[in-house]
Amino acid sequence: MIGRLNHVALAVPDLTEAAERYRTALGASVSEPQPLPEHGVTAVFVELDNTKIELLEPLGADSPIAAFLAKNPRGGMHHVCYEVSDIRAARDRLVASGARVLGDGEPKIGAHGKPVLFLHPSDVFGTLTELEEV
C-alpha cells in the first residue's frame, strides 16, 4: 500500500536559520518558505536525491508545530510522509485495521498541492505519519 518515503519533517524554532544551515553548511538545495495557513505552518523543502527534508516553523500560536516546539524547544523530528496511490483507499484500509486518522478523516491539500492525511502517532509506533497521494 505505501510507496516511497516522500519526506521527513523537522520542526524548527527558526526557519530562516535552519534553511540557511542546510544551504551553507550542508550544501543543499532549499526551497523558498511556503506559508500553509490551513496547516498552521510555514515550510521549506530541502531537496535530496532520494527524498526531501521538510523544515516546519509555526504559523501562529495555534499551530501544532508551536505545541511541538513548546515540548521540544530546540526542534526535532515531527513526522514522516509516505506516498500512496489512492489516499481514500489507504485511509479506509487503515481505519478498518483500527488506525485513527487525525482531523475529520477527509484528505486536505498539502504543501505539494496533493491530498494528505495524518495518522495518530499511537497507531504507528509513536510516529506521526502523513500519507500523500501521488
Q: Cell 551553507 sits at which residue?
A: 24
Give the pLDDT confidence score for residue 103 in this predicted structure: 95
pLDDT attached to residue 65: 96
What's the CATH number where 49 sits? 3.10.180.10
Q: Catalytic site residue 130?
A: yes
Q: Which residues of 111-120 are buried (b: 16+ CB within 10 A; e: fewer)?
A: bbeebbbbbe
Catalytically annotated residue among 54, 57, 130, 133: 130
pLDDT < 50 positions in the chain? none
Whole-prediction pTM:
0.94
Task: Give the model's pLDDT for residue 74.
Answer: 97
SS (H, E, C) 48-95: CCCCEEEEEEECCCCCHHHHHHHHCCCCEEEEEEEEECCHHHHHHHHH
Its domain, for residue 47, covers: 5-133
State residue 50's pLDDT score.
95
Q: How many domains does the chain fold into? A: 1
CA 72 to chain CA mean position, Å = 16
Q: What is the pLDDT of residue 37?
A: 94
Residue 46 to residue 19: CA distance in whole angstroms: 8
pLDDT (0 to 100) of residue 7:
98
Q: What is the pLDDT of residue 6?
A: 97
